[in-house]
Structure 1
Amino acid sequence: MNFETLKPQIKAIVSNAPLDVDARLLQICQLLETRVDYYNWVGFYFKNGDRNELKLGPYVGAPTDHTIIPFGKGICGQVAVSNQNFVVPDVAAQDNYIACSITVKAEIVIPIFVNGENVGQIDIDSNTPDPFTEADERFLEFVCAEVAKIL
């Protein structure tokens, strides 16, 4: 996948001011899920007010029961605490993994920073074992930086 071809589309979605933020986030999810073969679930989680938990935002993919994730729990909850990218090549090998679907084999979570504060993250599940590369990380960091502009 050549992520460079998706960057202008991400910028166009972010700058589409007539749409509200959630509609733009959903469009980003739809673009990524349809254009990257191994992105099987794409969604955003955001800090839930003053609580030490994440709340599910716009997403595409199979429905999930994990609409609230406490800080520290699962991959997303760990990223909320660590402020670091987390790439999981094999979810079965992770002790602190919250299973969403038996078909998920790998996960990547990249934090979103606004004014230096971790306000949320993009979470991507893949049904393909170990699909994520450094190119995915750099591209998703770009996506998160773009998203931060509208939060």
Structure 2
Amino acid sequence: MWWIFALLSALFAALTAIFAKVGIKGVDTDLATAIRTVVILMMAWGIVWFKGTASGFAGLTKTNWTFLILSGCATGLSWICYFKALQLGKVTQVAPVDKLSVALAIVLAAMFLKEPLTLKTGMGALLIIGGTFVLIF
């Protein structure tokens, strides 16, 4: 079941690039990111209230808070940089470079989360890196 959500995530990420490229024309990218963030904020809280999962808020630990805040900061910085890159470059170049995050996540997961870096995973990461360079040059 996880792979269905992963495929949907990829589809929506692809649409994000296309919609954003059109939407940021002549707009400050930080303003565009702020608008996008408000929309996401409303959607996320709407889903939480609709599902009735807001009660889990009280059970968050200090570690949960710390790393969710760090994740939010990283997401925000990623979006700001992504929108600026889209404004300056082509989607066909920016999107593949952005997807280097997959290879970086594999390496960082092995380093910090002690997830196994198998031959298959390592080869996949190298193929992603290679494919990115093919697409941008």
The reply to whether TM is greater than 0.5 is no
Task: Judging by fraction of residues, say which structure has more strand.
Answer: 1
Task: Judging by fraction of residues, say which structure has more helix.
Answer: 2
Q: TM-score, normalised by structure 1?
A: 0.29
Structure number with the bigger relative contact order (C-alpha 8 A, sep ≥ 6) is 2
Q: TM-score, normalised by structure 2?
A: 0.31
